[in-house]
Amino acid sequence: MASRASPAPRYRLAVASRVLAAVPLNYVLTSIVTALLARHLPLSRAEASVAATLTAFLIFALIAMAICHARSTARVWVWMIGSTALLGGLLALSLQLGGRA
């Protein structure tokens, strides 16, 4: 009976890196996008919160699929960190300026 060779450590690291990007970092990015949507949708506060929260399920799934589809793990991390920093900065600016009352 032939024994299977275990996957190379580099492959395992790439998979672990994508899992870290697809779950906790994706959650952070999705929550930032949800907060931005809730603050800037032209609806009442309650309706904007519900609409943004419902949209968050789609956003999370799309980001997770994009992470799994990306060719390079490094590209995934650059896009995720860059997007999180940019959108987090926009959310901080929105909170600083006041936005929705």
Query: 63 burial class (0-12, 13-18, 19+ CB within 10 angstroms)?
Result: buried
Domain coordinates of the chain in residue numbers?
14-97
pLDDT at 11: 87
What is the percent of the chain where pLDDT is above 90?
Answer: 79
Per-residue pLDDT at 2 = 59
The percent of residues in the chain predicted with pLDDT above 70, rounded, is 93
pTM of the model as a whole: 0.85
